[in-house]
Structure 1
Amino acid sequence: MTSLYDRPFRFGLCLFTPSTRAEWIAKVRKAEELGYDVISVSDHLGMPAPIPTLLLAAEATERIRIGTLVFNTAFYHPTVLARDLATVDRYSGGRVELGLGAGYDRAQFDAAGIPFPTAGERVSQLERTVAEFRKPKSELDKYARFEQPGGPPILIAGRGARVLRLAAAHADIIAFTGTTEVRDGDGLKLGGITEVTDRIDYVRGLLGDRIDQVEFNIPIHKVLPKGATDGVTDVWQNRLDLTPDELAELPSLLFGTPEENADTLRERRKTLGLTYYTVLEPEMEAFAPIIQALR
């Protein structure tokens, strides 16, 4: 049986830049050509809407899976979301991976004209949404017939203890953000290595017998030459307190040649159980040689 520490690697690509139809098709086909396993989209106002972009990605490709990273569950009624995702799953031939999160950005709620719930209220809505997708098939089939038996794999992303407890109990994929909140609703900052490993250790302690049934995910924000820590500052100016050595340790950043980075990912699989990496769109081509080095 495959364990958490020897799972095959998987590589996702999170696309978020607004595109024309032709540009979007070209991007997803390029991702498939480069060897990515999953196309993910975010759920932020100002970025492409998840459901139509996922359907177009599925139509334009042959094998690559499609998913969300992640739906802001505070924006949706769970039953309606289940109906919509079941339709995407059927029309894509069963390629959906469902990413869910509680939502964190007050500005997104303000722009949508939705009152910003408390953190506890947002997590409660996430719990209700997970429960909806985990209903027995006989109940779900009344309004949400998924192509995949048992429904799509569920990814839960988060940082807080309550969300991670939910993920440990119910998720197929647990996504560690590699970030911390500045203040509830006011954005994120890059987490240090201790913050990241503490979250991973916390989840490993909760999983019990499920530890070999789940997959650990983390984003890749940057792929840079060895020592090129200046390249991080254009994205994460709020963590300039980290030294170059500390930056080089972060699981969401990679420094070095493709072969060196492949060795780094093998080591992180062995020590942290990280096997599923989601690469941000600007790093799509820079990360591709690492995929080839690990296949």
Structure 2
Amino acid sequence: MSLASRAFRFGVNMLAVDTSASWHHRARHVEQLGFDVLLVPDHLGIPSPWPALATAAAVTERLRVGPFVLNAAFTNPALLARDAATVDQLSDGRVELGLGTGYVKEEFEAAGIEFLSAGRRVDHLGDTVAGVTSLLADPEHTPRPVQERVPLLLGGNGDRVLRMAAEHADIVGFTAARTGRDGDLEPLSAADFAQRVAFARAAAGNRVETIEWNLLMQIVVVTDVPMRVAEENIEKWGVSMSPQEFLDIPSILIGSAADIADQLVELRATTGISYLTVLEPMIEQFAPVIGLLRGVDR
């Protein structure tokens, strides 16, 4: 059965800010390549999301902007509602708010914030979601966002986060990876990922058709020799799997632009995932795929 009901949408996760001129140029370039959303992750050691997002919105015309995703432990509902509403005002209503539990133990330690158990971090995420959505919806809260509802993206892989996302988020973000105790990530196999998608869609119940489903792609390589590239990456990352198993990982796109486009059409048809995010170093590789998928939707 085909689940392809939404048009494709494309985001790029930006990993660095250097000079203002460079940041302005890169934001405009992302827009020119056809991406829909400019995103900034929330990790120590890289730029703060909100100032970078506000600046990117100021020099672009249609790009939506958002954190991908904020560590809920690094903020609280009152501060988050203020930040999101302010940037929504400055961008004329182009903010999308991404939230997650945070998972890198060393970053919590560097920030002087206790690295709670996974369950307690999910509890805190739930409290943050409830608080910030209530404040942003309150007509008495100032500043007021431009959008009647700032779209909420919740990202993760575990049962509780995916259930929370399915019940409350406008966008459900799949990581296609499981997180170790100290924040190391292990990619999911195709079968394990399919199970995670099925779990989240079942948890959504009658909301399933109103949700936008997102996946972060970890590798994008346009090539005519995908097996060779897979072998090189297996050696580089030290993973134990065959080249075909590596190519079957849902968050990895290796092949010709046409083959990658076909792969993503099939992904949408089987999972409902229509919102695809890539990392900034991959945008030139991915741009031809955007053109092909726009053609599919036309």
TM over 0.5: yes
Cα deviation code 1:14-33 (max 9, x no counterpart): 00123211111111111000
Structure 2: which 5+ runs fail to align? none
| Identical positions, percent | 42
Distance 1:60 1:138 in 2: 28
**Alpha-carbon shift at residue 4 of structure 1 (Å):** 5.1
**Alpha-carbon shift at residue 124 of structure 1 (Å):** 1.2
Distance 2:132 2:114 in 1: 25
Which residue of structure 1 aligns with residue 201 of structure 2?
A: 204
Residue in structure 1 matching 2:154, options 148, 156, 178: 156
Amino acid in structure 2 at the alignment position of 1:293:
L
Structure 1: which 5+ runs fail to align? none
Which residue of structure 1 aligns with residue 64 of structure 2?
A: 65
**Alpha-carbon shift at residue 80 of structure 1 (Å):** 1.0
CA contact (8 A) 1:4 1:213 kept: no
**Alpha-carbon shift at residue 107 of structure 1 (Å):** 0.5
Equivalences for residues 120-269 of structure 1 within 5 A = 120-135=119-134, 139=138, 141-150=140-149, 152-182=150-180, 184-224=181-221, 225=223, 226-227=226-227, 228-233=229-234, 237-238=237-238, 240-269=239-268
**Alpha-carbon shift at residue 142 of structure 1 (Å):** 2.0
**Alpha-carbon shift at residue 138 of structure 1 (Å):** 6.2
CA contact (8 A) 2:13 2:39 kept: yes
Find runs of 4+ consecutive structure 1 residues off by over 6 angstroms.
none
Which residue of structure 2 aligns with residue 24 of structure 1?
A: 23
Which residue of structure 1 aligns with residue 10 of structure 2?
A: 11
Cα 1:32/1:212, change in 2 over 3 Å: same
Taking structure 1 as the reference length, what is the TM-score of the superposition?
Answer: 0.93
RMSD value, Cα: 1.7
Cα 1:71/1:143, change in 2 over 3 Å: same
Number of matched pairs:
289
Distance 2:35 2:161 in 1: 28
SS, match of residue 166 in structure 2: helix
Distance 1:250 1:140 in 2: 44
**Alpha-carbon shift at residue 119 of structure 1 (Å):** 1.4
Cα 1:23/1:100, change in 2 over 3 Å: same
**Alpha-carbon shift at residue 257 of structure 1 (Å):** 1.3
Cα 1:5/1:125, change in 2 over 3 Å: same
CA contact (8 A) 2:136 2:145 kept: no
SS, match of residue 129 in structure 1: helix
